[in-house]
């Protein structure tokens, strides 16, 4: 049995953070239907293994999405065949640390806000006018269940993802009637290098996050992105929250002090 043709095929896709597991999975999923890809990464060497597997036209932007000037210049000078972006997947993001807020590293906070929020907003702001002018387009922002369900040690990471979700919904409010779609994709536990980055290379600590459970994979998340992006143009997925069946929202914490 062959897979049915999608109802809609984005022609040109910009994926930020393409050298990570999510970005690579997204690129492979859309390459399978012939979409042209614009891929951003800070390190071209990390992106090369992915590039060797792709058979569609690809334009690489080697830059840090936190560098506004670099992003502006890169998007302003896209080759003509890549200039009309149909789908923006704001994937670049990270968590750093899981200590309580009163022990947290302020540099980590700043990096998370700059990457997860400021960079996402800047890339969106640069791509959006062209989509509106053409009367078509889709922005898929990678948020997280952390934006809805706070947890100890989450503080700035949770807040940064709440921003992504609310920013996405606010964009929807502004874009009614323009033909441009916006989706906030909110995954739960996914086994990637996310925890290894969060715990700054502590492999043992990172492995404990996924021990004795069955998390989602990057390919699962890619399938969700693909589904939302290939629906008929009149169909907008505002928010899409996904979790493995081994995960669910927890109860509120209560601290109890025994009465003397």
149, with CB counted inside 10 A (0-12, 13-18, 19+), is: middle
Q: Over the stretch 26-51, which tens digit does the pLDDT of each residue have? A: 999 999 999 999 999 999 999 999 99
Catalytic residues: 157
Residue 2 is predicted with a pLDDT of 60
| Domains of the chain from N-terminus onward | 12-189+218-241 (3.40.50.720)
The pLDDT tens digits of the residues spanning 166-203 come to 999 999 999 999 999 999 999 999 999 999 999 999 99
Q: Which candidate, 232, 233, 238, places its Cα nearest to that of 131?
A: 233
Show Cβ contacts of residue 105 under 8 Å, excluding neighbours closer than 6 positions: 96, 97, 99
Report which DSSP code applies to 43: -
CA–CA separation, 165 vs 185, rounded Å?
8
pLDDT at residue 204 in the model: 97
Q: How confident is the model at residue 73 (pLDDT cuts 50, 70, 90)?
A: very high
- pLDDT by residue (tens digit) across 103-116? 999 999 999 999 99
- Convert the pLDDT of each residue in 218-254 to its tens digit: 999 999 999 999 999 999 999 999 999 999 998 888 8
């Amino acid at each position: 049995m062959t897979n049915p043709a999608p109802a809609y095929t984005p022609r040109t896709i910009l994926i930020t953070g393409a050298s990570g597991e999510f970005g690579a999975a997204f690129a492979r999923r859309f390459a399978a239907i012939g979409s042209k890809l614009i891929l951003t990464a800070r390190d071209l060497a990390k992106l090369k293994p992915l590039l060797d597997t792709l058979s569609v036209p690809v334009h690489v932007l080697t830059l840090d999405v936190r560098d506004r000037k670099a992003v502006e210049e890169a998007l302003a000078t896209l080759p003509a065949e890549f200039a009309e972006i149909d789908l923006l997947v704001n994937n670049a993001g990270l968590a750093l640390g899981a200590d309580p807020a009163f022990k947290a590293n302020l540099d980590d906070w700043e990096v998370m806000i700059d990457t997860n929020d400021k960079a996402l907003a800047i890339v969106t702001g640069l791509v959006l006018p062209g989509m509106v002018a053409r009367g078509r387009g889709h922005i898929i922002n990678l948020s997280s269940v952390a934006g809805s369900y706070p947890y100890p040690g989450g503080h700035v990471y949770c807040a940064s993802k709440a921003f992504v979700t609310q920013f996405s919904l606010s964009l929807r409010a502004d874009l009614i009637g323009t033909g441009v779609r916006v989706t906030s994709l909110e995954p739960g536990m996914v086994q990637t290098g996310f925890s290894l980055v969060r715990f700054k290379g502590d492999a043992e600590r990172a492995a404990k996050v996924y021990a004795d459970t069955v998390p989602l994979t990057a390919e699962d998340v890619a399938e969700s992105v693909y589904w939302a992006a290939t629906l008929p143009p009149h169909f907008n997925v505002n928010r899409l929250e996904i979790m493995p069946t081994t995960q669910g929202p927890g109860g509120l914490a209560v601290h109890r002090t025994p009465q003397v």
